[in-house]
């Protein structure tokens, strides 16, 4: 089997996304997995640093970055309870490290342009999230206050 761009050069791997055979020159490794140059543009090397930053500003966002969508939603809903937020930061950093080493499946990890959008929108998300959490907390406190005030 020869490289799909260089018909006279033997392929050393197949691209993870498009399954085309690629030679040593065309091979790009991202998160330990082989890609062709074309598909590698849409992928990004997973960064534990960014996973931690995402989860610090918005609970669950680091999980979205890692492709753990269900876990991300669960943490997004419970993060204002502080403990799930702390757990989410640690989990995001560990999982991102595993993905970067190629030890975990990367099929659900969002493509590069989406990660860029997350980085740009993160602070906006953070403000929105704090506002929502504050409103919910206000409701809960008011409800508790009312029940306490009426013996």
* Whole-angstrom distance, CA of residue 24 vs CA of residue 43: 19
Tokens of 12: 């050393």
- State the residues that interact with Zn ion by CB under 5 A: 3, 5-6, 15, 17-18, 23, 26, 36, 39
Tokens of 99: 């993905």
From the CB of 125, what's the least distance to Zn ion, in Å? Answer: 31
- In the complex with Zn ion, the residue whose CB is nearer, 23 or 100, is 23
From the CB of 46, what's the least distance to Zn ion, in Å? Answer: 18
- In the complex with Zn ion, the residue whose CB is nearer, 5 or 94, is 5
From the CB of 113, what's the least distance to Zn ion, in Å? Answer: 16
- In the complex with Zn ion, the residue whose CB is nearer, 17 or 86, is 17
12 touches 23 (CB < 8 A)? yes
Helix axes 83-100, 48-57, angle to 10 degrees: 160
């Amino acid at each position: 089997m020869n490289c799909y761009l260089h018909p006279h050069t033997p392929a050393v791997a197949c691209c993870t996304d498009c399954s085309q055979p690629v030679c040593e020159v065309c091979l790009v490794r991202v998160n330990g997995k082989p890609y062709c140059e074309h598909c590698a543009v849409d992928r990004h090397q997973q960064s534990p640093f960014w996973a931690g930053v995402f989860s610090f500003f918005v609970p669950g966002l680091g999980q979205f970055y890692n492709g753990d969508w269900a876990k991300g939603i669960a943490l997004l809903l419970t993060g204002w309870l502080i403990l799930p937020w702390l757990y989410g930061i640690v989990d995001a950093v560990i999982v991102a490290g595993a993905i970067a080493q190629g030890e975990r499946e990367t099929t659900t990890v969002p493509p590069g342009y989406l990660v860029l959008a997350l980085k740009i929108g993160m602070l906006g998300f953070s403000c929105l999230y704090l506002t929502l959490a504050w409103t919910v907390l206000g409701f809960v406190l008011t409800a508790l206050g009312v029940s306490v005030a009426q013996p």
